Structure 1
């Protein structure tokens, strides 16, 4: 499992290599909090193939606003520093896998 923590200062450096799933959520939103476990499970399944960053937009608002994350939950898939996929709303594990598999 490759979970990473990101903030406004190191966002670009930590998403510049490989495949990264960035999960944007809000701590005050119960649905967002529930989906954190699905994202963590995905992280374990893909191991070192996929880095996963979970960003609480209330704690890291600059990271969220920088990429236009205004609807939560939100998902960005970065490949070698480029945003290659963006999705919003509730996504089940199977839907997350489909998003990721397109970019492996």
Structure 2
């Protein structure tokens, strides 16, 4: 998974062609840590169709707010730089993320 920063977010996500999944997280978020291995599995499974990225919002708060991410874990799906869908919440499952991705693939 590509590690995003406030410096490369625009280039890697907003200027990207095709599908991009961004995992918004913080290092101290237990649900974020719990779902990460499953998201990495999805990255292996769909990596040829979707660019998988993650952004530590504790280092990019303004960027997260601008993307309307108010809590973690949160996943945004972008297509050709436009946000298509947001999935968020402590009870979020990798299956939910996979189903959402399939709708755009």
Same fold (TM over 0.5): yes
Q: How far 1:47 moved relative to its partner?
A: 2.0
The two structures have a TM-score, normalised by structure 1, of 0.88
Q: Which runs of 4+ in 1 moved over 2 A?
A: 59-63
Q: How far 1:13 moved relative to its partner?
A: 1.3
Inter-partner Cα distance in structure 2 for 1:93 and 1:71: 17
Unmatched segments (≥5 aa) in structure 2: none
The corresponding residue for 1:53 is 53
The two structures have a TM-score, normalised by structure 2, of 0.87
Inter-partner Cα distance in structure 2 for 1:40 and 1:4: 11
The corresponding residue for 2:43 is 43
Unmatched segments (≥5 aa) in structure 1: none
**Aligned-pair Cα RMSD in Å:** 1.4
1:9 to 7, 20, 35: 7
Q: How far 1:53 moved relative to its partner?
A: 0.8
Render the CA deviation track for 1:1-32: whole Å, top value 9, x for unaligned. Answer: xx222211221211121101101112112111
What is the DSSP-based 3-state SS (H/G/I as helix, E as strand, rest coil) of the residue aligned with 1:53?
Answer: strand
**What are the equivalent positions in structure 2 for 1:1-104 lying under 5 Å apart?**
3-15=1-13, 16-89=16-89, 90-104=91-105
How many equivalent residue pairs? Answer: 102
Query: Is the CA contact (8 Å cut-off) linking 2:24 and 2:74 kept in structure 1?
Result: yes
Moved more, 58-67 or 44-53: 58-67
